Amino acid sequence: MATLVQAEAAAPRGLDLVAMAKEAGVTALIALVLTAPLIGIRTVEQSGSLGFETDFTAVAIAVALVFVGRIGIILNREGIARPVLWLSLLFLVVFPLPVIYELLRSGFTLFGVQVPLDLPPLPVLDFHSIPLLVIGTLGSMWLALQALLVQRRHRSSLSRQERDRAMDKIGAKVQRATVFVGPILVLLAVVFPFTDLATRATLGVATIVLIYIMLGWGLNIIVGLAGLLDLGYVAFYAVGAYSYALLSTTFGLSFWICLPLAGVFAACFGLILGYPVLRLRGDYFAIVTLGFGEIIRIILINWAPVTGGPNGINNIPRPSFFGFPFDRSPPEGQTAFHQLFGLEYSPTHRIVFLYLLILALALLVNFISTRLRRLPLGRAWEAIREDDIACQSLGINRTNLKLAAFATSAMCGGFAGSFFATYQGFISPESFSFIESAIILAIVVLGGMGSQLGIVVAACLIIGLPEAFRGLDLYRMLVFGLCMVGIMVWRPRGLLAHRDPTILLNRKKGASS
């Protein structure tokens, strides 16, 4: 009977061309309505005033891609997957060719030597056609994978349970590989600033990504381990930044003294927030933490005599290498750091030092959170996350455990805020808005709550990719939003959400009874 059902599913039904054209046409019409104002019309500066120009060729290409893609989805749904597979593979070859040609035309580096290629530019390839080619490549890849699925399982999509099982298997393999992948990634991160890829721009992007990785690992203690939804984590970030800025500018304390103090102050604020709101649960708890973050931001704006108000605090001192600053002294033209190691002065050395500093701080936060998870405290956090009421019935003091989670997580946020203040040299309340909390929480959720490596991957995707494609300012946030929606639809638990229990109740095979 099962064989008969599979044979009926595999056999293509009669194809209704009119219904297929109607469905694809409606989809293309929706694409036209959405892409016409986003792609076809853009504002430009014309003689000191603001005007607009149109580019409906890109709109037509986008609508055509949507129409053809919908036809492919319908054919896969009807079981006619072989022509879709071959056409998708053909498009996978055709779409990337103009981009590769343009990259080769601009030249490449061979063994450290720039090799220019004297090739004519393509008239059809301009700045705004590159995103369409990328979207076409991704769509062709999706159709090809869907066609392969139809040929193997006689259906065009997997159920949610099958997707979860497949992703859990991938997450489990990644988690087991973390033992080997983690040290390799750390080694690559340490070596990176000493390679040819390390420029001021790439080091700046890498430093910002590491700040958000550190914040994600800190928030993961509350959200991933203790299971508490905190929407005001940026408040601890702000407390750490302003603590360092005020202590260094007012009392002249060095970075190495202000860093632990900023963490202590942020932990105290975590206790102040945690104690009165721990009786709340779910959405009510999240709303209160959101309000706490806004209260901190409003205080920073209105308490102008201390915080500088909307103008913020500038001229924040830079960190030194254990008392050897990077500031140049006029007589010799050298810094104390360069004189100590006998190096020739280069402004890049300070940027490399800041990068290695945030890398060390991020690894410290990772070590703290990983070790805490294996301790009885971390096991109790996981128990509270799974069943709060059962933990209370077992005599576990939920209040103290949740306060410990808040204080530890807030301390990590304070460390990150302290480094952010010294890295920027200027802070203001605008840097600590609600969108920062949303981005940090998105990193934790996208990577998979409780997954340390998942947070690294998510931070690189959310922070690193938009920075890398900042030149495509018209499309990068649109593509970013589409990717986030797709992840929430197909993988709501996160990319690497698989978590093995800290303690296994059953014993291994062969263990003595």
When pLDDT is averaged across residues 274-287 and rounded to a whole number, the result is 78
Residue 414 contacts residue 266 (beta carbons within 8 Å) = yes
Q: Which residues contact 422 (CB under 8 A, 6 or more apart)?
A: 244, 248, 255, 316, 317, 318, 319, 354
Q: Who wins on pLDDT, 102 or 471?
A: 102
- Closest C-alpha to 415, from 208, 204, 295, 239: 239
What is the number of domains present in the chain?
2
Residue 42's beta-bridge partner residues?
A: 53
Q: Give the pLDDT mean for 71-84.
A: 84
In a domain, 29, yes or no: yes
Please answer whether residues 403 and 245 qualify as being in contact, where contact means their C-beta atoms are separated by less than 8 angstroms.
no
CATH of the domain at 313: 1.10.3470
Specify the pLDDT at position 261: 92
Q: What is the pLDDT of residue 107?
A: 57
Among 370, 462, 383, 446, smallest CA distance to 178 is for: 370
Note whether 203 and 283 are same-domain residues.
yes
pLDDT tens figures, 190-204: 888 888 777 888 888
What confidence tier does 171 reach under pLDDT thresholds 50, 70, 90?
low
Which domain, by its residues, includes 382?
A: 179-475
Same domain, 122 and 242: no
Looking up tokens 């990319």 gives 495
**What residue type is assigned to position 5 of the chain?**
V
Same structural domain for residues 327 and 293? yes
Residue 513 in any domain: the answer is: no
For residue 447, count other CB atoms closer than 10 A to its CB: 28
Range name among 242-246, 304-308, 382-386, 472-476 with the lowest pLDDT average: 472-476
Burial track 297-332 (b if 16+ CB lie within 10 A, e otherwise): beebbeeeeebbeeebbeebbebbbeeebbeeeeee
CA atoms within 13 A on the CB side of 503: 10
Distance, in Å, from the CA atom of 66 to the CA atom of 36, rounded to the nearest integer, reads 13
User: Residue 510: pLDDT band by 50, 70, 90 thresholds?
Assistant: very low
Q: Are residues 130 and 196 in the same domain?
A: no
pLDDT value at position 337?
A: 59
293 pLDDT more than 90: no
Selected residue with higher pLDDT from 281 and 373: 373
Do 10 and 143 fall within a single domain? yes
Same domain, 251 and 113: no
pLDDT digits (tens, 9 = 90+) for 9-58: 444 456 778 888 898 899 989 988 888 877 777 777 777 677 777 777 77
- Residue 69 pLDDT greater than 80, yes or no: yes
User: Is-contact 459 212, C-beta < 8 A?
Assistant: yes
Amino acid occupying residue 122: L
Q: Best-predicted range by mean pLDDT among 111-125, 184-198, 402-416?
A: 402-416
Bridge partners for 427 per DSSP: 313
